[in-house]
Amino acid sequence: MDVIKIPQVTVDEVNDAINEKKDCILLDVRTPAELTRGKITGCINIPVDEIKEKIVSTVPDKSKIIYVYCLSGSRSDVAVSIMRSVGYRKAFSMAHGLLEWRMKKYPLV
């Protein structure tokens, strides 16, 4: 059985993209309750268990660069796998999620 490699991006790359005002979307796939503990400025939220139903209506442009994150990187891997299966070829999972983002002391709101 082949293991599917989920395309990933580092927290440093995401932070650089934000600072450079790169044309990208930040997608937080945690639950709404988790968002109260901090989120990246400008993100949109679709909980991972709703990705299949909501991604196309929320982000209809499948050519957009989308950086997907969660707390640790596990749920974002699942979300990116689903998104890629429906045509989002520029969706990337932020490795190590907000745990590493916080360790680097990058900003949250």
Write a three-state SS string for the chain: CCCCCCCEECHHHHHHHHHCCCCEEEEECCCHHHHCCCCCCCCEECCHHHHHHHHHHHCCCCCCEEEEECCCCHHHHHHHHHHHHCCCCCEEEECCHHHHHHHCCCCCC
Catalytic residue IDs: 70
